[in-house]
């Protein structure tokens, strides 16, 4: 998983090179790549009667206020790129970090968590 964060205009168009504004909107662009050589996404779960397709949840959260800012469910074969639009906190000094969480709905232990420091992005 790789991510980039950029400010967006009123029409949700990315503004490359612009600093993030407090209480503004930003686009988090997430690139996902499967490293498993298999093309099959079918998984078998012991307590589930049928085979199911593995899917993922991408979440953006504010850990200080315990607020979920964005969530998107995705499934993909090899590569995917998903944008998420989020409203930034009103004060980067009081709430400087966001959490990016990638969670699998089928496998335990594949979850990943990343911290985005808004002060370092600017």
Fold that domain 2-121 belongs to in CATH: Immunoglobulin-like (2.60.40)
Q: Does position 38 have pLDDT exceeding 80, yes or no?
A: no
Name the band, by pLDDT with cuts 50, 70 and 90, for residue 58.
very high
Interval 69-106: pLDDT, tens = 999 999 887 888 999 999 988 888 888 899 999 998 88
Interval 1-29: pLDDT, tens = 899 899 898 888 888 888 888 888 999 99
Q: Which of 121, 113, 14, 22 is nearest to 61 (CA)?
A: 113
pTM as predicted:
0.82
Tell me what pLDDT residue 51 has: 84
- For the chain, the domains span 2-121
């Amino acid at each position: 998983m790789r991510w980039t964060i950029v400010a967006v205009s009123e029409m949700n168009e990315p503004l490359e090179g612009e600093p993030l504004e407090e209480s503004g909107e930003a686009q988090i662009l997430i690139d996902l790549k499967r490293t498993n050589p298999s093309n099959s996404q079918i998984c078998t779960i012991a307590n589930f009667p049928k085979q199911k397709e593995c899917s993922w949840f991408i979440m953006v959260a504010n850990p200080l206020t315990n607020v979920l800012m964005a969530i998107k469910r995705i499934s993909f074969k090899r590569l995917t790129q998903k944008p998420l639009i989020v409203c930034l906190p009103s004060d980067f000094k009081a709430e400087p970090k966001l959490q990016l969480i990638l969670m699998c709905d089928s496998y335990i232990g594949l979850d990943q968590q990343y911290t985005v420091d808004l002060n370092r992005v600017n």
